[in-house]
Amino acid sequence: MADKIPVLKERKNFVATRNACKVCSPLGGSIAYKGVRGCVPVIHGGQGCATYIRRYLISHYKEPVDIASSNFSEESTIFGGEANLSAAIHNVIAQYKPEVVGVCTTCLSETIGDDIGQALRNYKAANADDPSVPEFVYSSTPSYQGSHMDGFHETVAAITKTFATKVEMNEKVNIFPGFISTEDLRMLKDILEDFGIDYIMVPDYSETLDNPVWDTYHRIPDGGTPVEELKMMGGAKASIEFGPILNKGNLVGRIKNKNLAHTGAEYLEKEFGVKKFTMNVPVGITQSDELFQLLSDISGNEIPKKYSMERGRLIDAYADGHKYVFGKKAVVYGEEDLVIAMTGFLDEIGVEVILAASGGNSGKLKEEIERCAPTHGKSIEVMGDLDYEKINELCIDMKPDLLVGNSKGYYIARELNIPIIRVGFPIHDRMGGSRLKHVAYKGAQELFDKIGNAMMEYKQEHSEVGYKYI
Amino acid sequence: MSKYIKDRTSQIVTIGEDQHDLACEKKSVAGSVSQRACVFCGSRVVLYPIADALHLVHGPIGCAAYTWDIRGAMSSGPQLHRLSFSTDLHEKDVVFGGEKKLYSALTELIESYKPEAVFIYSTCIVGVIGDDVEAVARQLTKETGVEVLPVMSEGFKGTKKDGYKAACDALMNLVGTNDDYVPPKYSINILGDFNLAGELWILAEYYKKIGVEIIACLTGDGRVEQVRRCHKASLNVVQCSGSMMHVAKEMKDKYDIPFKKVSYFGIEDMSDALYEVATHFNDPELMAKARALVSEEIAELIPALQPYREKLEGKKAAIYVGGAFKAISLVKALRLLGMQTVVVGSQTGNKDDYKLLQKICDKGTVIVDDSNPNELSDFVKQTGADLFIGGVKERPIAYKLGLGFCDHNHERKEALAGFVGMLNFAKEVYASVCSPVWKFIDKK
């Protein structure tokens, strides 16, 4: 009989990270690039970075995820990686005929000081008469800074800064949904369309990372926001961004010019005067109401009946199921913006969040949690910069009734013999991670049913007689 | 524009059509979307199954996070290897150096987790900023009494194969450190089995039945103490030769232990693996037992395979795996199920492996080294494959195009080695290739 995975009895803080509750920056950057039409991400670093990130994403999305690497060698590490980057771009163009190449840096290329902007300009100049040369965009995503979320939002900002230009005012609305599931993106697009809003979504990987089956291999999956649309962002009438944290936190040890805009929406507001609305990721009724009201205000249209019906049914479900979830103690973990939104939702259904934990370290998590969780906000233990082993040890002491977070926390729930509600990213041990619903009334409906049913199942399975009715 | 990247054409051969020798053991072409990872990956997968060691990745968080509990390498006892430790280097560490952080991280971890040994994996960034990992390791060994072994696996220093070598170098520092052990009469080490889905336990049972003891497995269900004394074995039996040949050769040079290359996949190769060992010890009783075991197993297995063979006869398979030596076994195992291999390739195969593949495969079979999604998807379409055998990164290619898939990589949950493994393999292939869901996919 195998031993259990060792858990320490002593409780102390370690210099080392034990089972990280985050992944690295270029992973987030690559996902953001997947949301641009015809874009192939290139990770400028060692071959492993691209392959590991692909593997991690493939296990979640169950989709081919092609990310190229400039495949650093010892020579490029010493003499600079420009030649490798050029070769990589050349071969990506030959194989994929991309509309856009999106370059993410790595710890390696950042440390040796490669100037990506210059390298890309050089490539363009050297291939000036080649019509197949695509648009370029690059973002600074060294893995020693922040987490995958910083990489994601840095890249969203880079895409915005690269393509948005001064254009005439238009009727479009920019939407920066943050890192949510492909199903969430699709629901969001339906909502925007039902409001009659002409939107520009950055990024939109709803199709590129969640395709139907193919008869032939698509070198670049369909979908994504086209560059022509991205160029219109500067003339939009408003920008909506989900998430109070985004990449605005203190990036561990990072020297950042505080005067520079941080997010795509901030940049558009500062440069082109596009009004910015920032809100939580709309999970649960309170946070979704804010979105629907905002969309109604921006579009000048009433909230479509379809959604008031969804909302009504959701409240009806809350009434039917409230007792089963009330007072249950939950530990929530994952990316900061997700943790905030999820805590807001759990607070509104009567679940008591006892620990809100993230591997992110913005320094803003506590104030945001207090803001979004009026019932328990003040008593929630809020901790950033945590790893799973720390969460595990805290759980042993806190004795939660359920975990809410990605699949990496499964081993903790297994030892505690409590349910885990899988949300967010990654979902590596189940299918359907990309189809998980979190946002708007439909997302809340799915989450509420899952949590209620998990509590009922737990009770039923631990009951002496079992029962057929609730 | 050619269909494939120009620099890669020498690494693709269609039997009967192309005349050139297959080029291999090259660095991946930049921008090719190679399925390979890096030097660090090679080291990490090889050493990971040593269950009572503490594995610390010295670098930024990604390298550790992507390799947390990554292999289904089972341990019968300790599970320390399943925790992912990292120095999680930040920008200031990169600027001022990570040695201090490494030292204090490990001092604490050793005190709390009391490992039998520690492996420190160097990553790209450590190579660039020039941390003296070896010096920190020496100091910690001296201070804590726990063997701290640096693994020089900076990602950019070559390919995954160089990572195998770095892992073997680290292992060799441990091999031979317990000289007091008295081995049983017929003893072997198994090199290059990683106890995925408990496969080592199946093999150990076979060897036990014929009267041979395993001193150490490198590294499946591995223990530090076994590595220390494994130089007392009479024979090294090497599977996954790509990763473990260095250790086998070094042990031959240093301790005069002969080695044999074997494979445990398929009836033929599994039987040979037992006969080879029996032949080595030159004991008729041992050989008789081996023969008895094989015939007993085969008598049961062949009729059990028959229903699957009937369903699979004439189907075509594509193989893309880490090492080409395994691919050779797979070609034979598929043949036993009546299936023909139409595409076969690997990330890190060598010339000999590929030559053998060219010999045993049929005309029209595509052989490829260090391939990528574009090529692989083209090959399976043009050859009309019904099944793809590979790892997680190949799975969506197969499913997207409506092919069956069998995971023959790190994360497999079914034991595929040994005689029982052959039956599991048949079942898994059947379950995927003959699923009714494929009828909904319109294959042009």
Cis before A400 (ω within 30): no
pLDDT at A50: 96
Q: Which residues of A touch B113 (CB under 8 A)?
A: 6, 8
Q: Which residues of B touch A63 (CB under 8 A)?
A: 396, 400
Contact A51 B393 (CB under 8 A): yes
- In chain A, where the domains are located: 25-252+260-279, 284-461
Q: What does chain A come to in residues? A: 470
Model confidence pLDDT, tens digit, residues A52-79: 999 999 999 999 999 999 998 888 888 8
Single-letter code of the amino acid located at A20: A
Confidence of residue B86 (pLDDT cuts 50, 70, 90): very high
User: Quick check: B2 pLDDT over 70?
Assistant: no
Q: Residue for token digits 């023969």?
A: B291
Phi, psi of B189 (to 5 degrees): -110, 145
Contact B105 A142 (CB under 8 A): no
Q: Would you say the ipTM is above 0.90? A: yes
User: Which two structure tokens, joined as six digits, stand for A6?
Assistant: 């060792």
Best mutation target, B41, B88, B160, B381, to test chain A (most A CBs within 10 A): B88
Q: What is the CATH number of domain A25-252+260-279?
A: 3.40.50.1980
- In chain B, where the domains are located: 39-172, 187-291, 313-412
Model confidence pLDDT, tens digit, residues B144-159: 999 999 999 999 999 8
Q: Cα B348–B349–B350 angle (5° rounding)?
A: 120
Contact A48 B37 (CB under 8 A): yes
Taking the C-alpha atoms of residue A262 and residue A158, their distance in angstroms, rounded to an integer, is 10
Contact A6 B83 (CB under 8 A): yes
User: Quick check: B126 pLDDT over 90?
Assistant: yes
pLDDT at A214: 85
Taking the C-alpha atoms of residue B288 and residue B335, their distance in angstroms, rounded to an integer, is 28
Asked if the C-beta of A76 comes within 8 angstroms of chain B's C-beta atoms, the answer is: yes
Among residues 382-401 of chain A, which lie with CB inside 8 Å of chain B? 389
Half-sphere exposure of B311 (CA within 13 A, CB side): 15
Among residues 241-280 of chain A, which lie with CB inside 8 Å of chain B? 251-255
Model confidence pLDDT, tens digit, residues A328-338: 999 999 999 99
User: Which two structure tokens, joined as six digits, stand for A81?
Assistant: 């990686």
User: Quick check: B90 pLDDT over 80?
Assistant: yes
Q: Which residues of A touch B381 (CB under 8 A)?
A: 216-217
Nearest CB neighbour to A144, from listed B79, B90, B442: B90
CA distance B12 to chain A (A): 16
Q: Residue for token digits 């048949």?
A: B426
Asked if the C-beta of B185 comes within 8 angstroms of chain A's C-beta atoms, the answer is: no
Per DSSP, A379 falls in state: G
Chain B: residue whose CA lies nearest to A55: B393
Cα A52–chain centre separation = 18
> Smallest Cα–Cα separation from B121: which of B56, B172, B47?
B56
DSSP SS3 for B286: helix
User: Which two structure tokens, joined as six digits, stand for B243?
Assistant: 């990763």
Q: Give whole-number Cα distances, B132 to B88, B100, B126, B136, B170, in Å.
A: 17, 10, 9, 7, 16
Nearest CB neighbour to A2, from listed B6, B68, B79: B79
Question: CA end-to-end span of chain A, whole Å?
Answer: 38
Chain A: residue whose CA lies nearest to B70: A56
pLDDT at A216: 78
pLDDT at A250: 67
DSSP SS3 for B267: helix
Mean pLDDT along residues A299-323: 98
With a CB cutoff of 8 Å and minimum separation 6, the contacts of A310 are A440, A441, A442, A445
Taking the C-alpha atoms of residue A332 and residue A351, their distance in angstroms, rounded to an integer, is 11
Model confidence pLDDT, tens digit, residues B411-428: 888 899 999 999 999 999
Q: Which residues of A touch B392 (CB under 8 A)?
A: 55, 58-59
SS3 of B129-191: the string is HCCCHHHHHHHHHHHHCCEEEEECCCCCCCCHHHHHHHHHHHHHCCCCCCCCCCCCCCEEEEE
Asked if the C-beta of A361 comes within 8 angstroms of chain B's C-beta atoms, the answer is: no
Superfamily of domain B39-172: Nitrogenase molybdenum iron protein domain (3.40.50.1980)
Nearest CB neighbour to A84, from listed B30, B64, B157: B30
Single-letter code of the amino acid located at B373: P
CATH of B187-291, one of 3.90.1300.10, 3.40.50.12380, 3.10.20.30, 3.40.50.2300: 3.40.50.12380
Domain A284-461 class, CATH top level: alpha beta
Phi, psi of A60 (to 5 degrees): -85, -55
pLDDT at B383: 96
Mean pLDDT along residues B71-79: 92
User: Quick check: A252 pLDDT over 50?
Assistant: no
Q: What is the CATH number of domain B313-412?
A: 3.40.50.1980
User: Quick check: A157 pLDDT over 80?
Assistant: yes
Do residues B51 and B78 lie in contact, with contact meaning Cβ atoms separated by under 8 Å? yes
Q: Which residues of A touch B441 (CB under 8 A)?
A: 213, 215
Tell me whether domains A25-252+260-279 and A284-461 share a fold. Answer: yes
Single-letter code of the amino acid located at B34: S
pLDDT at A260: 66
User: Which two structure tokens, joined as six digits, stand for B441?
Assistant: 């996919």
